[in-house]
Structure 1
Amino acid sequence: MRERTQYQQLQPEERLIIASLHLQGSGIRAMAQILGRSPATVSRELTRNSSPAGYASVPAEALSAARRSAGRRPTKLCLQGVCWRIVLTLLEWKWSPQQISGTLKRMYPTDPTQQVSHETIYTAIYAQPRGELRRQLIACLRHGHNTRMPRTRGTDRRGQIADMVSIHVRPPEIEDRVLPGHWEGDFIKGAGNQSAVGVLVERTSRLVLLGKMGDATAASALAGFSAKLNSIVAPLRQSFTYDQGKEMSRHKELAAATGVNGLCRSKTRDEKMR
């Protein structure tokens, strides 16, 4: 297989040579041979970066830089923008990038320019030049790694339920158990999964409610949890955090039937019922 070579932009000194040779009437192939460049490169340079007065190295360099700048996509999280100042404030409050991303979507539901993903926030932090600001931003992160860890790190993502909303974007008032009405859900399963009991734990009061289910299927989970959540007065059913098991694959129907916002916790046991 032919090895692919990486193209390098023309340097200012090369443009100076092109301008000098062009002024002397040299041909494109002769200039290319002197520079060690392709004739197509020289021809394209003369076509794109010549002014009405002819080709000169300094104006050609300015035209090339302007074209490259205009071709770049604007930065999603502008470091001089209002959104970045909000992100900085929430990072100082020890919010995670996932929580910040979810909060921005709720704050600006109709303005995509003020919404950023958690990966964009991580990128903006780790793209900072080495120095005090970068150290301060990394220190605001819960893990505080000096380098960005890969998103997957070999995690097996098979079997995850569709359209789940991660536990990492739930608001701080749920994490801090400030307001009642936020529930954790789990299952107690019988032998061979032939029977099951749904368990609901209210995060603030630690009140425990049990709902009997015919089995451990998604249909039974939907019916059992819907009935139990709807038996609770509306102000005291704000959110419902559940596992990634296949029993909760109909979580969107559960949310529609109860009006409760669903959040999915990770599969690791250390995040359950915390």
Structure 2
Amino acid sequence: MGKHYSHLSAEERGAIMVGKARGESARQLAHLLGRSPSTISRELARNGHREPSTTPYMGRPRLAYDAQRAGQRARRLGRKPRRARKLLPPSRLWVKVRRLLGKGWSPQQVSLTLRRRYPDQRACHVSHETIYTAIYAAPRGALRRELVALLRQHKCARRPRGRGADRRGQMHDLPSIHDRPPEANERLLPGHWEGDFIKGARNQSSVGVLVDRHTLFLKLVRMEGCSAQEALEGFSRAFQPLPAELRQTLTYDQGKEMALYKTLGERTGLSIYFADPRSPWQRGICENTNGLLRQYLPKGTDLSVYSQRQLDAIARKLNTRPRATLDYHCPAEMFMRALGRDDLAQKIDDALLD
């Protein structure tokens, strides 16, 4: 027998039937066929039957085996699914899953939030793989396109991201991320932020992105342009309503829009640190958030057409979306708890599945 398991063939089943008629044991048959004795024993247990009319063997009727009947049963079971599909389009669970996908949630967020909210109701539990299977198992056509459109990446395959050279110039003597305080590195407390610009068509428009490292709470800032002065005004406006304890540090890349970082620090009380060049993983939270935002702010579009009200609505969608690193609570809930507003936090959590 080779290293990989294979089902018994018709010839092997025939040999088992002849061997059992001669009274050979499972171990003798296994040696003859080059199979494990347990394989033969399981096959006889599944497909053997007692025939009282046969000659007794050691006080018990012999175990007869019909190769043809065993082969038919194996083919029938091979075509039969082991378990009925749990997530079928007419079911109440499918309706709930599809509604949450329509809110921009990922299958994993849907799966683990349902498990968290209904821990004792197994009928409401569904894995993210089952959700993907239900979507891609749909027949080709308008329905399948509609279901795939519910996913953030509307494609079956992903393309590698381009790795062009950084042509934005360099700033010198910047406070390094390696000097950032431990509480910011460990994400132990709110008030430590990561920031970035996402650019629009031809790099002529932009939106400021600010993410709290502890709660993943997102603020989007409308910018009048892409210059350092506009970044200063926009980020100052975004941080101004926050209490001092939620304005501790800001980590940014070395983009030229942060050339006035010292003035920003003086206005807001933030200590500003800069990641190493070409090291996006040092601001992984913000980079991941940028990817989520492209669902709403696609590349190649003019971002100047979005008002602050529209950007706030987009941020609200992401802030009320459950996140794995928050044990599938949402950023808005955790941010309200950081502000001491447990009542609002509970209302947000209760409204997640509405």
User: Could you say which TM-score interval applies, normalised by the shorter chain?
Assistant: 0.3 to 0.5
TM-score by length of 1: 0.41
Question: Which is higher, the Rg of structure 1 or of structure 2?
Answer: 2
